[in-house]
């Protein structure tokens, strides 16, 4: 009996090729555009209509059924609000990770299964096998970092058709299939707002921020910021403190409304040889926490974990070498060889 796969069609080349490959493999493929965001912002027009039309055109080209699932309200409540709360608390949250956890591999999965799908599929660069999350063939494009909060139950119902291809190979496949997205550029910036920068986005939803002091490593005030929420650990650009060596953000105090910077790239406040993880998530319910490496940002280096200990609801990771600019709110993702086993939020 032919299996039915609901493919998340974003209007980009990766999901388009994913759908084409699945059809070629004999699946009954249904394309689904997830409408997560449609709001225009000052100076920026949300591209959702163009993306929706591109996704629809790909479905017509492939001769597959096409639907739209409207998750806009849930997206704001579960992803955008999470992000706003995190920044307000002085953290730097990752909306892409929360989108995968709450929308793509929860709401989209549930809605698809209810409508008769056997599997869902996306254009992520990742691989899965028996509920395990495995890194993609293309190291440069691997997206398992963003998928670590997905469950093994969800992965057992998920296909990643392009996980075994490199990006150039995916582009070539798109040309082979004559897809209208073959030469479409990748969208950059926040996952749901196209070209809007994070600061510009936050300014639309957070109350006006108060300016405050920027202090250097000696405690001297060397300038003013326009809102501590807009700054993140390790940040170098956008500080508006001129002259001499570049400054790097080492921390901030939300209560005092102060941002702390240094010109010393070796400043101890910029480096950590241990990580405290909160909100831990393990893809398998009983993970084997041995022989681990950790990644603290997408495309960041893999660092050996010397030890991992549970402390209350948190985990403490001792690292083989110090890492620069660990940022509260970001994720530390753990791997055993080529298998992503989970991770947690840096605090």
Q: Is there a catalytic annotation at residue 99?
A: yes
Q: Which residues are CB-neighbours of 267 under 8 A, at least 6 positions away? A: 217, 248, 250
How many whole angstroms from its chain centre is CA 245? Answer: 32
- Within 10 A of 300 (CB to CB), how many other CB atoms are there? 16
DSSP secondary structure, 293-334, as one string: EEESSTTPPPEEEEEEEEETTEEEEEEEEEEE---TTSEEEE
Q: How many CB atoms lie within 10 A of CB 188?
A: 8
Residue among 282, 298, 339, 299 nearest 135 (CA): 339
Give 192's DSSP letter.
Answer: T
**Are 96 and 188 contacting, i.e. CB atoms less than 8 angstroms apart?**
no
Half-sphere exposure for 8 (CA within 13 Å, toward CB): 24
Secondary structure percentages of the chain, helix, strand, coil, to 5: 30, 30, 45
Q: Which of 46, 99, 340, 347 is catalytic?
A: 99
Q: How far apart are CA 29 and CA 8, in angstroms?
A: 10
Q: Which residue numbers are catalytic?
A: 99, 191
């Amino acid at each position: 009996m032919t299996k039915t796969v609901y493919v998340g069609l974003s209007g980009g080349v990766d999901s388009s090729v994913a759908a084409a490959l699945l059809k070629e493999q004999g699946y009954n493929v249904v394309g689904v555009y997830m409408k997560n965001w449609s709001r225009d912002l000052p100076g920026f027009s949300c591209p959702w209509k163009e993306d929706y039309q591109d996704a629809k055109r790909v479905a017509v080209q492939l001769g597959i059924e096409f639907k739209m699932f409207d998750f806009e309200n849930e997206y704001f409540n579960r992803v955008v609000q999470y992000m706003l709360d995190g920044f307000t608390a002085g953290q730097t949250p990752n909306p892409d990770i929360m989108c995968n956890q709450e929308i793509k591999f929860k709401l989209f999965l549930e809605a698809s299964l209810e409508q008769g799908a056997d599997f869902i599929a996306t254009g992520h660069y990742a691989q899965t096998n028996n509920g395990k999350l495995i890194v993609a063939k293309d190291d440069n494009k691997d997206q398992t970092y963003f998928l670590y909060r997905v469950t093994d139950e969800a992965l057992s119902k998920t296909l990643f058709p392009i996980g075994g291809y490199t990006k150039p190979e995916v582009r070539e496949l798109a040309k082979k299939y004559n897809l209208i997205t073959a030469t479409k550029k990748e969208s950059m910036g926040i996952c749901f707002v196209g070209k809007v920068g994070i600061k510009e986005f936050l300014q639309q939803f957070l109350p006006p921020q108060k300016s405050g002091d920027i202090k250097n490593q000696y405690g001297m005030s060397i300038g003013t910021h326009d809102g501590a929420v807009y700054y993140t650990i390790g940040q170098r650009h956008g500080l508006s403190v001129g002259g001499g060596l570049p400054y790097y953000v080492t921390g901030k105090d939300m209560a005092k409304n102060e941002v702390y910077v240094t010109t010393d790239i070796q400043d101890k406040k910029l480096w950590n040889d241990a990580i405290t993880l909160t909100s831990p998530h393990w893809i398998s319910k009983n993970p084997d926490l041995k022989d681990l490496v950790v990644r603290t940002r997408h495309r960041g280096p893999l660092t050996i974990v010397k030890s991992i200990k549970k402390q209350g609801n948190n985990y403490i990771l001792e690292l083989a070498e110090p890492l620069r600019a660990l940022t509260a709110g970001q994720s530390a993702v753990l791997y055993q060889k080529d298998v992503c086993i989970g991770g947690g939020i840096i605090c």
